[in-house]
Each structure stands twice: as structure tokens, then as C-alpha cells.
Amino acid sequence: MGLGPEAQIICGSVHMTTQTLTRLSIFPLAGVLLFPRMHLPLHIFEPRYRALVSDALARDRMIAMIQPRGGGDTPPLYTMGCVGHVSQVEALDDGRYNIVLEGRSRFRMVRELDVKTPFRQIEAELVSDPENESLALAERAALEAESRRFAVAQGYAVDWESVSRLDDEALVNGIAQIAPFDPASKQALLEAETLSERAELIVQLLHFFGRHDGEDRVTLQ
């Protein structure tokens, strides 16, 4: 009997690899990413996404953020996103919502589901990121220095004392989430495998953006 691609033969024995999939309701939004442990405020006004929030509040309060690849009503999607928990919600009289998502876990999309709901749903594999990742002292120093140069050049007012008290993960993911990069660049940050890789890419993008001051977009494409 032939074995499928998920079977591995090791030392004469057969080991079957299994993939635990999670069903997720998605909010595709270009240029808006959520990272683990970060908070993302959203104003929900489209009917299909109002239905998404209502459904999430009635179940597990989980909503998955993912970027579309292009335009249209049902554009193709990037394969990686981040699922968040609705930590705060304000229901407005006209049916709109103001919510805050708290990032829980990155995920890799396996397939999109054929559903009857007005919002899209997928099956995905949750990514187990290492806990308590940290940067080397030189990496932290380089990130803070480039961030300061960028903020000064752009005229941003930053409480650097508060920034210095952030742990490495909060600093790196916070910058990655709010930095004014184009969707492809932000997607690359989300897909970085380690905190160090993400920090290094942020430094490169901040430096590139600073050299192209006045242009609308920083892009990896």
C-alpha cells in the first residue's frame, strides 16, 4: 500500500505526521496587521464584518486578521495572519462596533472554507512562537537608535523613557504593527521566524524609508 506525503519512514518504522487545524473567521484588511501580545483598535461598519463581530462575541470572541493579495470582493489571501481575542467592545446604536483585538497567535492558512456566512472562514494551523524571546544587547541598541533617527526625521513625538521600559517582544512587535510600511513589507515582518529576524528587518526598512523621505511607500516588491 502506498504512503501519502504525510508519512515518514524512520529507522524501519512508519511515523504519521498529523496537522491540527483550527477554523477561523477572518477579517481581510490590507496594511493592517496584528501581532501576538499587541492590541489593535478597529471600527467595524461594513455589514459583513458587523456579522463577523456578532458571531465572534456569541462564540469564542476570536477574530483572525489577514492581508488580502489584491483587490475585489473576495481577493486571494496571504498565507500567514494573526488571530486575536476581542478584549474590548463598544456596540453602537446603529449596529456598528468599536473593538480592540489582543493578538494571541500567528497562523498559517491551509485552505479557505465554502461557507454560507457573509464573512469568510478558513482552516489554519496555529504557530507556536517561542516564549520570552529576547534580543542581543547590540540588536536592541541598533533598533532603538534607528527608531530614534526615523522618529526625528518624521517629526514624531515619542516618549523614549517609556519605550526603554518595553520588553524586547513588545518593542519589536509594536514597531512592526504601527510602522508606515507597505502591505508586502509588513507581511514580511509578520512572517519573520524569530524576533531577531523581525528586528533586523525593521532596522533595514526604517533606514530605507529615511533615505526615501517624501515618498508615499516603503516596499519590498
Give tens-digit pLDDT for 50-67.
999 999 999 999 999 999
Centre a 10 Å sphere on the Cβ of residue 147 and count the other Cβ atoms it contains: 20
Name the residue range of residue 160's domain: 137-211
Q: Are 103 and 75 part of one and the same domain? A: yes
Q: Is the pLDDT of residue 84 over 80?
A: yes
Q: Are 67 and 115 part of one and the same domain? A: yes
Q: Write the DSSP symbol of residue 130.
A: P
**Who wins on pLDDT, 147 or 221?**
147
Amino acid identity at 37 = R
**Among 126, 161, 192, where does a domain finish?**
126
Q: How many structural domains is the chain composed of?
A: 2
Q: Note the pTM of the prediction, 2 decimals.
A: 0.84
Of all residues in the chain, the percent with pLDDT exceeding 70 is: 86
Amino acid identity at 73 = D
Q: Is the pLDDT of residue 8 over 70?
A: no
CB 122 within 8 A of CB 110: yes
Q: What is the pLDDT of residue 211?
A: 66
Is residue 149 in some structural domain? yes
Q: Is the pLDDT of residue 217 over 90?
A: no
User: From CA 204, how far away is CA 200, in angstroms rounded?
Assistant: 6
